[in-house]
Chains A and B, each alone.
Chain A
Amino acid sequence: MTSATDIEKKSPLAGLSESGAYQKLLAFASLIALLIGFSIASPNFMQTSNMIAILQATSVNGVLAVAATLVIITGGIDLSVGTLMTFCAVIAGVALTYLGLPLLLGVAAAICAGALCGLCSGTFVAKMKIPPFIATLGMMLILKGLSLVISGTRPIYFNDTPGFDQISRGSLIGDVLPALPIPNGVLILFLVAIAASYILGRTVLGRYTFALGSNEEAVRLSGVNTDLWKMRIYALAGGICGIGGILIASRLNSAQPALGLGYELEAIAAVVIGGTSLSGGRGTILGTLIGALIMAVLTNGLRVLSVAQEWQTVVTGAIIILAVYADMARRRKSG
């Protein structure tokens, strides 16, 4: 039987590709290279304040990218993460500023709204069999419209809710270690990422997320209620977008209803750079985090070097294509 020899030949690479580890390694190496490159190019880059600015800039996109990762691993796509974030921020605004609810209730309302919207997307995809791209495209527009309607197209400020801006801008770590004033927003991103990693790696929900992306029909024929699990994953992703909504509202100390479009593409870019396959079945949260960091470092570094904003966008696009090409080229080689 040839299988034994096949296995021995393939296993070192196979082990890596299982978690997209090669791509993650490549992404990590790129991140380090970028950091070194920018440090050499500009002495202003490697400052604590700048590093913290980079992390702060990563937090919102990072959280959205985590949400997008979950959906993408199932073989779907979520285009609504950006406007859902805004919608949740507006809901928080309504709850805290208009209704004057306590802080925690406002936060809970935003996250629940996110989960509920995610459940809607999930229902469209799983029950109504609408392709994820279309279902979440529709959801994206609905939520953008609803945000404007609910807020009356005006920003909602959180001036009456003391402490709301501290959710993102305060620094619990800085209180303990004054030398390391890492904002809470970043802390929250890491907590979200750890939780998502745990769910993906250690729970049934996570196992089915990979299984659905790997071969949905086989999962269904195993007697698993695939529709239900898919809806749960979309709902979870929606809830995470709700956290993203709180983060951005807290950072701006306001809910900006016109914001949100374009965030979904940045999130998907981070996911892809991080080695998650758009065809589903493989991906990691760590990879996504690195992907989000690469994007933030690029934007920041190019700005420090005074490269025009327009060119920053061009470079980001090129990086995405390069990252995915590297992954494809490797996969073709390993067959």
Chain B
Amino acid sequence: MKKLVDMMGIEKHFPGVHALKSVQFDLMPEEVHALMGENGAGKSTLMKILSGIYQRDGGTLQIEGRDASPKTPREAQDLGIGIIHQELSLMNDLTVAQNIFIGREPRKRFGRLDDTVLNAQTAEIFSSMNLNLDPKALVGSLTIAKQQMVEIAKALSYRSRVLIMDEPTAALNDAEIAELFVIIRRLKAEGVGVVYISHKMDELKQIADRVTVMRDGEYVGTVGAADTPISQIIAMMVGREVKEEPLVPPDLSAAEVSLEVTGLSRGHEIRDVSFSVLRGEILGFAGLMGAGRTEVARAIFGADPKDSGEVRVHGRAVSIRSPKDAVKAGIGYLSEDRKHFGLATGMNVRDNIALASMDMFTGTGGTLHDGEMAATAKNYITQLGIRTPSDTQEVRLLSGGNQQKVVIAKWLLRDCDILIFDEPTRGIDVGAKSEIYKLLEELAGQGKTIIVISSELPEIMRLSHRIAVMCEGQLTGILPGGKDTTQEDIMHLATQRAAAMKVTGTVQ
């Protein structure tokens, strides 16, 4: 059988990053080929090259035996490649049919739209998928699963022979996943090849024929899905050498509990999460993207509402309904997205450091003592080693690591002794990373309570005195830090789906 897709020696550079290093990938007709790897392993980049969103810097790409270099998503569609992004890209206020044929609506004379033909063609696609859906329904009124079906129908309407699905089940419940799998199997039977990106091990066993694993932009290997144990796939995913000495967690048996969270819940995102952190401890939160770690942090901090759950700070129950309450209780949150949630980037270093503590610098009539603010800011610039020409430099001109330090300074000044770091080193280069790590350790040493959320396992291993692992909104376990825990242990907990799924759907 001729390969649908054959990618060899694919190279891709981004400024400062070698994103893909001689990666290979192939896809046969009637096959579901899973692509796996940690966040940042290069899966999405590879698939964006296949679907014309990025151009490769090197290597060959063959579609059904012919060399191809799609320059735009449109060209990739013409080659028969459809991609369904993790974030659905549908227009909620248009109908199903209007969405599927957006940009190539059937027309009558004088540019008038032909809705009859539009709906008829849509109905045809649905019947070929054996899908019961009204072409005239508004997309916004459909469930996420149904919307996913619309995306698939849209991809098929381009006569796609290759369908790329990026974490298609992330937002689906078990019944909906079963529905999706029925459709995938049907497509497979018709000769379509499916590239399936997912983190969920049990799904792979059910739907995939082969599994290709990537790590740090490199190709690791391809194995059969049915005959390879999950532990081997996990080992392939995390198998990088651990260069650093394992961490030796300090003895905190005498330390008091400074933050205790019990029964925290909100919708599907956070399900009954309970944990506690000690004074001077660094608690790592591991898990895959979408596991609910950021949601937990934001709920504790009062940035988002919670359905239920109790937060105790130094043994006292506190009611946190807004970030204001959290800050008052001494909790600071450092968001993963500094530019959107952490910094007023158009303002200077001094103002950003003082942002949470303006009342400290306010005199009568609301006048600000700029001199004191400057002195305080300069103090932190020295103390944390923030590299900036002056305290009046706009923070958007600083590097990522220095921006992060500005946010840290903001919370230190506010006297927060419980600090939640969400992806503290995202977008920060390697040198600055270890500086941030040292800073976090110093803070813990001074008796601050530190929570670190990170998707990078080495970072979790490097920092955490204990490691809490989440999967799909649940806390699946808390592991000891240091040498007793391996990356594989964490990965097992991070991919542990709550309910064992039963799929009953078959090809009809």
Contact = CB atoms under 8 A, between A and B. Distances in A.
A222 B356 contact: yes
Contact of B370 (A202, A205, A223, A225): A202
Nearest to B365: A203
Contacts of A211: 344, 347, 351, 355
B397 interface: yes
B326 A223 contact: yes
B240 interface: no
Nearest to A1: B399
Q: Chain A contact residues (Cβ within 8 angstroms of B): what range?
A: 20 to 34
B366 A205 contact: yes
A3 B402 contact: yes
B397 A10 contact: yes
A223 B328 contact: yes
Given A204-B362, A204-B366, A211-B344, A224 B394 contact: no
B344 A215 contact: yes
Contact of B345 (A2, A202, A208, A214): A214
Interface residues of B, number: 47
B387 A203 contact: no
B342 interface: yes
A323 B365 CA distance: 36
A173 B355 CA distance: 42
Question: Most chain-B CB neighbours within 10 Å: which of A10, A208, A214, A223?
Answer: A223
B344 A14 contact: no
B341 interface: yes
A112 to B, nearest CB: 19
B341 A223 contact: no
B351 A218 contact: no
Contacts of A129: none
Interface string B389-400: 100011001110
B324 A2 contact: no
B323 to A, nearest CB: 5
A207 interface: yes
Contacts of B355: 211, 218-219, 222, 224
Given A8-B389, A203-B368, A221 B335 contact: yes
A291 to B, nearest CB: 21
Contacts of B365: 203
A202 B368 CA distance: 5
A2 B15 CA distance: 13
Contacts of A8: 389
A221 B358 contact: no
Contact of A224 (B324, B333, B366, B402): B324
A168 to B, nearest CB: 28
Contacts of B374: none
B324 A214 contact: no
Given A1-B399, A14-B397, A224-B324, A204 B344 contact: no
A1 B431 contact: yes
B88 to A, nearest CB: 24
A220 B333 CA distance: 11
Contact of A203 (B328, B346, B366): B366
Contacts of B366: 199, 203-205
A208 B362 CA distance: 12
B340 interface: yes
A3 B399 contact: yes
B337 to A, nearest CB: 9
B465 interface: no
Interface of B: 301, 303, 322-324, 326-328, 333, 335, 339-348, 351, 355-356, 358-359, 361-362, 365-368, 370, 387-389, 393-394, 397-399, 401-402, 410, 414, 429, 431-432
Interface of A: 1-4, 6-8, 10-11, 14, 18, 199, 202-208, 210-211, 214-215, 217-225, 281-282
